[in-house]
Amino acid sequence: MRADAQGATVTFDTGTFRGILEVEPGLVTGYKLVTQTSTKGEPISATTLTVAGRELSIEGSHLRFGDRVIGPFSGEVKVDVKKDGIFVDGKKQSDF
């Protein structure tokens, strides 16, 4: 992940969907990467960004923004987080 005054870029692969998530400058106020161990003993990583005061996470086949679940998705996707909402492959999925 890259996060700075220019915005943030996250490359991800959940095993169900993968791609790039880009956040416009000024929207990211924090992030964390958590690695856990699955029941099969394999490492599982989750990235959570704080965007416009709410958590945005990439989970399985979905995006979670605050209490809203966006998806499901599969294959290759491009996620853009802009001041006017969250877009997946150019289609608006959520307002802030």
Give the model confidence (pLDDT) of 5-47 as tens digits. 567 888 988 889 999 999 998 887 777 777 777 788 877 777 7
CA 10 – CA 86 distance, rounded (Å): 14
Instruction: Give the alpha-carbon dihedral of 56, 94, 84, 45, to 10 degrees.
Output: 20
Structural domains counted in the chain: 1
Structural domain harbouring 72: 2-94
pTM for the model: 0.81
